[in-house]
Amino acid sequence: MDTINGIPAHPLFVHLTVVAIPLAAVLGILAVVWPAARRKIGIIAPIAGLVAVIMTPLTTSAGESLEKKVGPNQYLADHTELGDKMIIVVAPLFVFIVVFWALNNDWIMGKVASKVSIPSRTVTISSVAAAVIVVGFAIAAIVMVYLVGESGARSVWLG
- Residues 16-50 pLDDT 10s: 999 999 999 999 999 999 999 999 999 999 999 99
Beta bridge partner(s), residue 4: 7
Supply the DSSP symbol for 70: S
Residue 71 has pLDDT above 90, yes or no: no
| Structural domain of 49 | 3-157
Which pLDDT value is given to residue 39? 93
pTM (global) more than 0.75: yes
Question: What mean pLDDT do residues 130-152 have?
Answer: 98
Q: Which of 100, 63, 66 is nearest to 82 (CA)?
A: 63
Check which CATH number belongs to the domain holding 142 and give it: 1.20.120
Which pLDDT value is given to residue 2? 86
Q: Which of 51, 61, 79 is nearest to 147 (CA)?
A: 79
Residue 151 has pLDDT above 90, yes or no: yes
Number of domains in the chain: 1
